[in-house]
Amino acid sequence: MIFMGSISPVFSQEKQANYPVQAKTNDGKKWRIGYLEGGPFADYQMNLIAIFHGLVSLGWIEDQAIPTQADDKDNSQLWQWLATSIRSDYVEFVADAYWTSHWDAELRPATKAAVLKRLNEQKDIDLMLALGTWAALDLANDEHHTPTVAASVADALEAKIIKSVEDSGYDHLHAKIDPSRNARQLMLFHDTMGFDRLGVVYENSEEGRSYAAINDVEKLVKEREIELVTCHASFSNTDLEVAKQEVFACYEKLVGETKAIYITRHRGLTPDVVEKLVPIFNKNQVVTFSQQGSRDVKLGVLMSIALAGHKCVGNFYAETIAKIFNGALPRNLPQVFEEPPKIAINLSSIRAIGLEIPVELFGIVDEVFE
């Protein structure tokens, strides 16, 4: 399936939204799906698994258990399992259509070139999954016309992946966006915890600011007269161990400067780093909210968005893919998706800090961890 051009008229999103999602073959053949990422990142794995489950729920893939992954950041083994083990009459994840730049800025152009060569010359991929900002940017252009679903992007508009909330700008491109997601998180965090200083960690680059939703953070602290305390830690184009060390050092520094921290998306914030930081946060009575999700809450972070949100996001991506395979133009499908207002909390950390949970908060608590 190829879409030519980037300036075709945009049809009614209501009409496009009503495209069927039932499973169908590509003229008797399976639809072939490829994958591109900037580098290993835990959120990408969660989203890929959520997409799998979404396609299962729509009947495109038979239900089966996904093996526990040895590395929750590296999708290469998961992709090979998807390519060789799923049972489906309709779709296949193509084993050799998996590309990653390993967060190496020097490798990124060659990776992009390899993907474009495959898409434009072999033309054997029906849809690309672009996980993260790097991947989405590399496929959000007129250099190819293969349907592309950008996923796990913090803010597709701020990152200049899409033209607007309503229009991706390219016929072949779709990028989910929740314009107020980070703002809602931040307002919920402030409304419940009432802090006057907020700490954040991010890479001081355009992409690093996008990953960490710094524009939303800066807007909130200005509106609510909160003092912002920042620390910079390398995200991309650096060794993972260096990224982990810089992140840990930054959060240790912030603990001495603020009593509230918005834990932003960062590849250096691995589970082992989170587990080392939680006792430090609790000992110093620092309240925390994870931008990434309930995985961090399970490890001891005070609160975040519940896992139910990830399931709903996976269903949204799966429905988008299904509609594309049923003939919808990616550009004309709705991009806005708001996660349900459900949160996760960690009771052990709440008790360790000595907090009392506001009664109104329990109405939106979906996950509770000890």
pLDDT score for 12: 36
Q: Where residue 16 falls among pLDDT bands split at 50, 70, 90? A: low
pLDDT score for 127: 99
Alpha carbon of 363 to those of 14, 24, 343: distances in Å?
32, 40, 10
Give the separation between CA 166 and CA 177, rounded to whole angstroms: 9
* Same domain as 246, residue 110: no
* Same domain as 270, residue 155: no
* Same domain as 200, residue 124: no
Q: Where residue 2 falls among pLDDT bands split at 50, 70, 90? A: very low
* Same domain as 151, residue 266: no
Please check whether residue 8 lies inside any domain of the structure: no
74-127 tens-digit pLDDT: 999 999 999 999 999 999 999 999 999 999 999 999 999 999 999 999 999 999
Please check whether residue 328 lies inside any domain of the structure: yes
Give the separation between CA 151 and CA 296, rounded to whole angstroms: 20
Which two tokens mark 188?
């919920």
Give the separation between CA 205 and CA 236, rounded to whole angstroms: 10
140 in Cβ contact with 169 (< 8 Å): yes
Give the separation between CA 26 and CA 325, rounded to whole angstroms: 8
CATH number for the domain that contains residue 280 = 3.40.50.2300
Give me the number of domains the chain comprises. Answer: 2
Count Cβ atoms below 10 Å from residue 250 Cβ, excluding itself.
Answer: 22
Burial of 21 (0-12, 13-18, 19+ CB in 10 A): buried
Cβ neighbours of residue 48 under 8 Å, at least 6 residues apart? Answer: 35, 75, 78, 79, 82, 129, 131, 151
299-352 tens-digit pLDDT: 999 999 886 656 789 999 999 999 999 999 999 999 999 877 788 999 999 999
Q: Where residue 210 falls among pLDDT bands split at 50, 70, 90? A: confident
**Which residue type occupies 274?**
V
* Same domain as 219, residue 255: yes
Structural domain that includes position 314: 13-179+308-332
* Same domain as 162, residue 118: yes
pTM for the full predicted model: 0.81
pLDDT score for 94: 99
